[in-house]
Structure 1
Amino acid sequence: MPWTHPITAKWPATHSDRIQLYSLPTPNGVKVSIALEELRLPYEPHLVSFEANDQLSPEFLSLNPNNKIPAILDPNGPGGKPLALWESGAILVYLAEKTGRLLSADPATRYETLQWLMWQMGGVGPMFGQLGFFNKFAGKDFEDKRPRDRYVNESRRLLGVLDKHLAGRDWIMGGDCSIADIAVFPWVRNLIGFYEAGDLVGWGGYPQVERVLAAFAARPAVQRGLSIPARG
């Protein structure tokens, strides 16, 4: 069924029967590309260039009025009807429930997984992102380091919470990788890599986080998803 959504005027679908992904290879963006790779769902990625202000274009805003990536169109949504969806956490839950993978069907385990997903959305992402701003981008020129240090301290606290939880566990939920890991570890990787904040947060003090991050980064689906969509 051909797409009739306005976003396809700017990003035409070559394979209209596949999930259409509109994204960038950022920590939030790769959550969805990694999940799609892990789940082996057919999809077609489209690069949303912030340099070109694609996220502010009428076509993108027709799908996501919040002008953030990632966003998807699924031609085979609930009830066989097309579904447009944005917010990375919502997309992870949707894809997991669509396939019956990466999110347990057991109610208690499911809600425990969702609590860690919400923990990432409400804490890890905003705090690590602000630390990245103050350490690597425009904030590094501010003479007053109190704002930076606030995010340093909160990032350390969050890493400590995660490190303690991971003791004796292979993954956040125990024995299996889940959408909680897919949400959390791209941000941890970005914090110590792209944001260059390892020394600030005392990276060596979180051996359990370091161990699971290495296992996460070694997964073939993760390695593929981290570079999707490919930058031009």
Structure 2
Amino acid sequence: MADLSDFPITQKWAPENPDIIQLYSFPTPNGVKVSIALEEMGLAYEPHKVTLADADVKSPEFLSLNPNNKIPAIIDPDGPDGPIGLFESGAILLYLAGKTGQLLGNGATDRAKVTQWLMFQMGGLGPMLGQLGFFYKFAGSEWEDKRPQERYISEGKRLLAVLDKELDGRDWIAGDYSIADIAIAPWLRALDFYGAKDVVGWDDHKNLVAYLDRFLERPAVRKGLVIPPRD
């Protein structure tokens, strides 16, 4: 049995089976990337619900694994040199794809293309749509100055247009289905949660509409979207 005692997070979220990957997450767009990937890759894992409350993400135990106090994070007891802890959803996706040889394409060129679109999500789509949600649905929507809201609506439209054009004539963003799709699609789905589909002209992006539908039809996606359960 693997010894995970060097990871203080296990004192707050104790593993039932320390021999499998431990997932610390919540079903947000970033959180479900990892649960979906684990399901797609067929890896055994144990999910632990880490809420977005300070009592969880700012607890000493969670900060010991992720000093940036954001979900998701993992511990893999079967790391390359022994147990390894990782945070940042994009880094975890790359690690899991490298570990299994899955969802990274075939060869160095495919890997570079998949990584390119993964970085597009990490550096652009996710942060910009997250800000759109804040200024359109949450506290920022109450601000009298609407320039920030207009800024992120405009940038959201621009990024959707980039994706819609790239998906013309193809099913997935970088050739075969990959971790890039697992990163991108949950953020497109978040537009519904933000109530922002109309304001960004979602229905005008026919390629994106079909793309998200394809993604949501995958059994592993349907399962991963609700792991760990909110309740």
Structure-2 residue corresponding to 1:89: 90
Which aligned pairs between 1:53-202 and structure 2 lie closer than 5 A? Answer: 53-79=55-81, 81-174=82-175, 176-191=176-191, 193-202=192-201
Question: What SS does structure 2 have at the residue aligned with 1:73?
Answer: strand
Query: What's the CA shift for 1:104?
Result: 1.9
Worse-matched range after superposition: 118-127 or 48-57: 48-57
Which aligned pairs between 1:202-221 and structure 2 lie closer than 5 A? Answer: 202-221=201-220
Unaligned regions of 5+ residues in structure 1, if any? none
Match of 1:46 among 37, 45, 48: 48
Structure-2 residue corresponding to 1:26: 28
Question: What SS does structure 2 have at the residue aligned with 1:201?
Answer: coil
Partners of 2:148 and 2:215 lie apart in 1 by: 31
Question: What SS does structure 1 have at the residue aligned with 2:85?
Answer: strand
Partners of 1:105 and 1:92 lie apart in 2 by: 16
Percent identity, please.
Answer: 62
Structure-2 residue corresponding to 1:228: 227
Where does structure 1 differ by over 4 angstroms across 4 or more consecutive aligned residues? none
Partners of 2:19 and 2:139 lie apart in 1 by: 42
Number of equivalenced pairs: 229
Partners of 1:212 and 1:120 lie apart in 2 by: 15
Partners of 2:153 and 2:45 lie apart in 1 by: 37
Unaligned regions of 5+ residues in structure 2, if any? none
Partners of 2:206 and 2:168 lie apart in 1 by: 9
TM-score, structure 2 length as denominator?
Answer: 0.97
RMSD of aligned alpha carbons: 0.9
